[in-house]
Amino acid sequence: MLGIAAGAATTLVTDRSWSSELLPRCLMFSVTYMAIQPVMVRVRRRAERQERQHLRDIEQARRDRRI
């Protein structure tokens, strides 16, 4: 859905004769978004896992220093 909105907005802003190109451009943005979105989700989840591990490592180092 975001791809359709982005395609429509881009077409309306950049092209005066947008009526014939609106649907193809929206479809192009939608297909691109659908292809990239799962990759972005994986990248985000991996970064979140790494951040959690980093915070656990910091806590472990603090505990080890106290002993």
pTM: 0.55
Separation between Cα atoms, residue 29 and residue 38, nearest integer Å: 15
Q: What is the pLDDT of residue 58?
A: 96
Tell me the helix, strand and coil percentages in the chain, rounded to 5. 85, 0, 15
Confidence grade of residue 24 (pLDDT, cut at 50, 70, 90)? confident
Mean pLDDT of 17-27: 73
Tally of CA atoms within 13 A in the half-sphere of 46 that contains its CB: 6
Amino acid identity, position 42 = R
Q: Return the SS3 of 48.
A: helix
